[in-house]
């Protein structure tokens, strides 16, 4: 029996998603080409994409449908995880269309409505619409307002037919007020059950596996608390600089670009209580409780206790890096951070006095996202004192990317005598265990939106709770705006001040090692 067929049917249940029309706003942009359409192609390869479903790209670029298809074909060849299958692509391409229009034009949205009505009638499809906003965030409000004014968006329960749903990429607002304003506009046009605020980290297999690991294994849940855990580290590091995103990044920085969304979501999944069920609202209720339990960081503390830095110029690993302030699109003398590190506390019974150390940045030593659970050391008797101690505490490392997996470090006796103890890792890797590439996050998230499952998407109150926590930090950073930020060398692990931050808590940052046992560094 071909086990890949079993995997496809279990991973992507067939028959759940009814045919619909996926309308991608910003279809000529980078995200649609690198992530969205390769994910759609993979769903077609896995027979999870309803056979008659149409894709309509909406953009300002002067393209026709033929040129749009040609560009997507090249993008799929370059970015899809599977080998290119001409037959699969030919079938998908025949259902791809392009519609040129402006995001602020009521007339262009009226023309889009007429086009969709014509296409659905010709293909004998119900007018079920999944609107995907992959535009710059400055266009979100125009698109949402015109979806409502044109009648394309229809309020109603997520499962009612014909249905309409909207997927919105981050960043969702740039502060609490703008997030509330955007939520308010969405509420005028859609019901909350129709809104899918996407964070691609939540679609990654290892992130989802956090809940399974915690709540499906009796060995972990009893020790997942302040009695046994010393501290938690969350790292999201990129080796690239800001590249061509300088103008956007300089208006956002690591705080808005990563901390408010990705890092907060990872924190919630690590710290949340067991939900009453796997229903979407039960899971999201517990995440919101974590955010509301975060100990506030006042602006005065944020100004000096939150570590912010920028990468400087240099050459590393055969690459030349400009100083951040010399990147195209970055303002001269900018004090926008490309690196941030801070200590968080969750004031509830489970996590009382357990610090969470968080760091994220550009131009760091390794592209990696991981969560490290460091357990408390064993008592300083028997083995954990000279001559065999002190020993490294046990660690559980959850690797989110790139080589997704889980590693546990524990103590063993080296063969022979005298008695010598060494910490060794035990690894689980998705690719090695299951013998294939892990599906991309966008595959899962797009399919969930198509089938009406919002579990892995962000609810409005979660967005606002995260912004409420971040706002005093932003205010504190603004008070010292203009002060020169510390610099760190390209492809290092960031500034010395970040090491001092965690050292003050009696710890040090975990240095990521490969999850493949053959490459593991002891």
Q: Residue 335 corresponds to which tokens in the numbers above?
A: 């004090």
- For residue 417, the model assigns a pLDDT of 66
Identify the band that residue 517 occupies on the pLDDT scale cut at 50, 70 and 90. very low
Tell me how far apart the alpha carbons of residues 235 and 229 are, in angstroms, rounded to a whole number: 18
DSSP one-letter code for 108: H
Number of residues in the chain: 522
**Range name among 1-5, 27-31, 114-118, 213-217 with the lowest pLDDT average:** 1-5
> Which tops the pLDDT comparison, 171 or 15?
171
**Range name among 175-179, 294-298, 513-517 with the lowest pLDDT average:** 513-517
pLDDT in tens, 331-388: 988 999 999 999 999 999 999 999 999 999 999 999 999 999 999 988 777 786 777 6
Residue 5 has pLDDT above 70, yes or no: no
DSSP, collapsed to helix, strand or coil, labels residue 135 as coil
Identify the band that residue 476 occupies on the pLDDT scale cut at 50, 70 and 90. very high
Q: Residue 505 corresponds to which tokens in the numbers above?
A: 């808590």
Instruction: Report DSSP letters for 265-304, one per residue.
Output: HHHHHHHPPPPSSSSHHHHHHHHHHHHHHBPP--HHHHHH
pLDDT in tens, 134-191: 998 899 999 999 999 999 998 876 556 789 999 999 889 999 999 999 999 999 999 9
Q: How many CB atoms lie within 10 A of CB 511?
A: 10
pLDDT in tens, 427-470: 888 777 776 677 788 999 999 999 999 999 999 999 999 999 99
DSSP one-letter code for 384: S
Tell me how far apart the alpha carbons of residues 327 and 491 are, in angstroms, rounded to a whole number: 16
Residue 426 half-sphere exposure toward CB, CA atoms < 13 A: 8
Tell me how far apart the alpha carbons of residues 105 and 487 are, in angstroms, rounded to a whole number: 45
Instruction: Report DSSP letters for 349-369, one per residue.
Output: TTTTT--EEEEEESSBSS-EE
Residue 9 has pLDDT above 60, yes or no: no
Catalytic residue, chosen from 146, 231, 262, 427, is: 262
The DSSP bridge pattern shows strands 164-168 and 195-197 to be parallel
Q: How many CB atoms lie within 10 A of CB 501?
A: 21
Q: Residue 103 corresponds to which tokens in the numbers above?
A: 């995001």
Tell me how far apart the alpha carbons of residues 160 and 102 are, in angstroms, rounded to a whole number: 30
pLDDT in tens, 70-119: 999 999 999 998 899 999 999 999 999 999 999 999 999 999 999 999 99
Instruction: Report DSSP letters for 209-275, one per residue.
Output: HHHHHHHS-TTTGGGSSTTTEEEEEEEEE-SS--GGGHHHHHHHHHIIIIIIIIIHHHHHHHHPPPP
**What is the pTM for the complete model shown?**
0.90
- For residue 379, the model assigns a pLDDT of 76
Q: Residue 76 corresponds to which tokens in the numbers above?
A: 């799929």
Q: Residue 301 corresponds to which tokens in the numbers above?
A: 């503390």
Distances in whole angstroms, Cα of residue 62 to Cα of each of 65, 100, 101:
10, 7, 9
Q: How many CB atoms lie within 10 A of CB 116?
A: 20
- For residue 71, the model assigns a pLDDT of 95
Mean predicted confidence (pLDDT) in 263-291: 94
Tell me how far apart the alpha carbons of residues 300 and 476 are, in angstroms, rounded to a whole number: 6
pLDDT in tens, 391-411: 788 899 999 888 888 998 887
Give me the domains of the chain, ranges plus CATH numbers.
3-197 (3.40.50.720), 202-369+439-503 (3.30.360.10)
> Which tops the pLDDT comparison, 519 or 116?
116
Residue 221 has pLDDT above 60, yes or no: yes
Active site residue 262: yes
């Amino acid at each position: 029996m071909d086990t890949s067929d079993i995997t496809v049917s279990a991973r992507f249940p067939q028959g759940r998603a009814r045919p619909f029309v996926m309308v991608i706003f910003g279809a000529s942009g980078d995200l649609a080409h690198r992530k969205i359409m390769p994910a759609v192609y993979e769903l077609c390869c896995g027979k999870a994409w309803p056979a008659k479903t149409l894709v309509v790209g909406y953009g300002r670029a002067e393209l026709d449908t033929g040129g749009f298809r040609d560009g997507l074909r090249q993008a799929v060849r370059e970015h899809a995880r599977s080998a290119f299958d001409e037959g699969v692509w030919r079938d998908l391409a025949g259902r791809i269309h392009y519609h040129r229009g402006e995001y602020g034009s009521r007339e262009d949205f009226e023309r889009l409505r007429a086009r969709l009505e014509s296409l659905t009638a010709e293909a004998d499809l119900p007018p079920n619409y999944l609107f995907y906003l992959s535009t710059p965030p400055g266009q979100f409000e125009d698109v949402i307002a015109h979806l409502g004014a044109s009648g394309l968006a229809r309020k109603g329960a997520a499962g009612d037919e014909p249905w309409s749903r909207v997927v919105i990429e981050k960043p969702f607002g740039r502060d609490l007020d703008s997030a509330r304003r955007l939520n308010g506009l969405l509420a005028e046009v859609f019901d909350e059950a129709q809104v899918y605020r996407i964070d691609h980290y939540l679609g990654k297999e290892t992130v989802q596996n956090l809940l399974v690991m915690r709540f499906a294994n009796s060995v972990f849940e009893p020790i997942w608390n302040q009695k046994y855990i010393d501290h938690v580290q969350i790292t999201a590091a990129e080796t690239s600089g800001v590249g061509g995103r300088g103008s956007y990044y300089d208006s956002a920085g690591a705080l808005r670009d990563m901390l408010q969304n990705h890092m907060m979501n990872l924190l919630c999944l690590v710290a949340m209580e067991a939900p009453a069920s796997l229903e979407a609202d039960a899971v999201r209720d517990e995440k919101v409780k974590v955010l509301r339990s975060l100990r506030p960081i006042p602006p005065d503390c944020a100004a000096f206790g939150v570590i912010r830095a920028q990468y400087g110029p240099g050459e590393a690993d055969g690459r030349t890096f400009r100083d951040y302030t010399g990147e195209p699109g970055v303002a001269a003398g900018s004090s926008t951070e490309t690196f941030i590190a801070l200590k968080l506390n969750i004031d509830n019974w489970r996590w009382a006095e357990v610090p969470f150390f968080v760091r994220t940045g550009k131009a760091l030593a390794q592209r990696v996202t991981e969560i490290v659970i460091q357990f408390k050391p064993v008592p300083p008797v028997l083995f954990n004192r000279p001559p065999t101690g002190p020993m490294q505490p046990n660690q559980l490392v959850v690797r989110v990317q790139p080589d997704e997996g889980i590693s546990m470090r524990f103590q063993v006796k080296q063969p022979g005598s005298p008695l010598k103890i060494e910490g060794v890792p035990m690894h689980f890797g998705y690719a090695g265990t299951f013998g294939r590439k892990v599906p991309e996050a966008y595959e899962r998230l797009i399919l969930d939106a198509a089938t009406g499952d919002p579990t892995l998407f962000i609810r409005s109150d979660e967005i606002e709770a995260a912004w409420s926590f971040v706002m005093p930090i932003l205010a504190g950073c603004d008070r010292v705006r203009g002060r020169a930020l510390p610099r760190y060398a390209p492809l290092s692990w960031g500034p010395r001040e970040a090491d001092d931050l965690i050292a003050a808590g009696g710890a040090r940052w975990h240095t990521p090692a490969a999850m493949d046992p053959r490459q593991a560094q002891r």
